[in-house]
């Protein structure tokens, strides 16, 4: 099921330099910038979880990653079968990711919010989500390593945070942090709605704004890393398995590369000593790990760039059914 929007969108997307008010600054170390790519909500985000769409989105994302020679980790919500009664579609998507040389992580079974879920029930969901992912990895002589918190919520109380952290450690699962957080999910919702309505003008406008937003997010967190850590760090970018990224991942990765980044494995990014720092953040919400390190240093977390105001307004209107 072709979207019909990609050509319109890409034709309207110019290359863009970082905003003058947020200068790129010097690369980390002496070997240039590095970023690890991560995609949440495999096989497909819930807004359009249909089997045909899941196959198309998977193919496009994997093609763009291959073209850019960019490794990635896909984080799985194992309950999502995208309308099929069996997990065959889900497993086919995950096999495609593994066949392409990428890794998989556990994003829980059903994407619960730790802030709204008792710890015991949340841990059950974590364990249930791990089983099918670990099984596919085991068939290839590998094991499940990565866990990503839904909503990046690590615990709104010390008891929840400590209980989850202990459970992950007991299973030898590593937390996959995020440094370049962003509002991609808002753009994705509006883009998906534009596709459903056949509104190519809105789709193209969202595409341009989304790529500019990702540029702004990188510029912001490069600056924050220098403020908080004293230097730039290997970044970890959060994206999702959705139509927005299926259509726009190629120009998105081109912009990231134009900022001086090379694409690296998540394990390589996390070899940097900064990732051994404590994450002291306990509370509501899920800020970037750079903001968590700011808390550890006695500072306050700050918000990164938000979506364009017109995107906020359009999102609210669409959500209300208007």
Listing DSSP states for 276-289 in one string gives GS-----SSS---H
The answer to whether residue 254 is domain-embedded is yes
pLDDT classification of 322: cutoffs 50, 70, 90: confident
Domain that holds residue 241: 32-319
Q: For 135-182, how does the pLDDT look when each residue is reduced to its tens digit (9 = 90+)? A: 999 999 999 999 999 999 999 999 999 999 999 999 999 999 999 999
C-alpha to C-alpha distance for 281 and 274, rounded to whole angstroms: 16
C-alpha to C-alpha distance for 38 and 148, rounded to whole angstroms: 10
> Could you tell me whether strands 33-42 and 72-76 are parallel, antiparallel, or unpaired per DSSP bridges?
parallel
- What single-letter DSSP state applies at residue 171? T
pLDDT classification of 4: cutoffs 50, 70, 90: very low
The answer to whether residue 27 is domain-embedded is no
pLDDT classification of 16: cutoffs 50, 70, 90: low
Would the pTM of this model clear 0.75, i.e. be above it? yes
Is the pLDDT at 286 greater than 90? The verdict is yes
CATH number for the domain harbouring residue 179: 3.20.20.370
The answer to whether residue 9 is domain-embedded is no
Alpha helices in 148-272 (DSSP H): 158-170, 184-197, 200-228, 243-258, 266-269
The answer to whether residue 11 is domain-embedded is no
Number of domains in the chain: 1
197 vs 3, 14, 194, 202, CA distance in Å? 11, 25, 5, 10
The answer to whether residue 260 is domain-embedded is yes
Q: For 25-75, how does the pLDDT look when each residue is reduced to its tens digit (9 = 90+)? A: 444 444 599 999 999 999 999 878 999 999 999 999 999 999 999 999 999
The answer to whether residue 53 is domain-embedded is yes
The answer to whether residue 25 is domain-embedded is no
Mean pLDDT, residues 113-125: 98
C-alpha to C-alpha distance for 82 and 64, rounded to whole angstroms: 23
The answer to whether residue 22 is domain-embedded is no
Rounded to the nearest 5°, which phi and psi values hold at 267? -60, -35
Alpha helices in the chain (DSSP H): 6-11, 51-68, 88-99, 119-138, 158-170, 184-197, 200-228, 243-258, 266-269, 289-296, 309-319
Mean pLDDT, residues 72-91: 95
């Amino acid at each position: 099921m072709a979207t019909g929007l990609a050509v319109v969108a890409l034709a309207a997307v110019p290359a863009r330099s970082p905003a003058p008010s947020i200068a790129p600054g010097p690369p980390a170390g002496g070997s240039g910038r590095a970023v690890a790519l991560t995609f949440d909500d495999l096989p497909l985000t819930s807004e359009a979880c249909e089997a045909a769409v899941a196959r198309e989105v998977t193919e496009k994302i994997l093609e763009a990653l291959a073209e850019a020679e960019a490794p990635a980790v896909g984080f799985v919500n194992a309950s999502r079968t995208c309308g099929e009664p069996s997990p065959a579609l889900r497993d086919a998507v995950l096999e495609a990711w593994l066949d392409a040389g990428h890794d998989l992580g556990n994003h829980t079974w059903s994407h619960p919010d730790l802030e709204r879920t008792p710890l015991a029930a949340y841990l059950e969901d974590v364990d249930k989500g791990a089983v099918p992912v670990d099984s596919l990895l085991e068939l290839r002589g590998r094991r499940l390593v990565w866990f990503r918190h839904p909503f990046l919520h690590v615990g709104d109380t010390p008891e929840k945070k400590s209980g989850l952290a202990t459970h992950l450690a007991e299973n030898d699962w590593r937390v996959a942090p995020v440094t370049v957080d962003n509002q991609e999910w808002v753009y994705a919702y509006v883009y998906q709605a534009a596709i459903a309505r056949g509104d190519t003008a809105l789709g193209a406008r969202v595409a341009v704004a989304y790529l500019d937003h990702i540029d702004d997010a990188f510029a912001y967190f490069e600056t924050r890393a220098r403020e908080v850590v004293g230097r730039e760090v290997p970044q970890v970018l959060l994206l999702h398995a959705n139509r927005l990224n299926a259509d726009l991942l190629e120009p998105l990765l081109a912009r990231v590369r134009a900022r001086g980044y090379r694409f690296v494995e998540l394990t390589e990014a996390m070899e940097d000593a900064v990732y051994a720092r404590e994450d002291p953040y306990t509370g509501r919400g899920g800020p970037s790990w750079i903001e968590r390190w700011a808390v550890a240093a006695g500072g306050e977390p700050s918000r990164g760039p938000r979506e364009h105001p017109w995107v906020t307004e359009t999102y609210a209107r669409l959500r209300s059914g208007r």
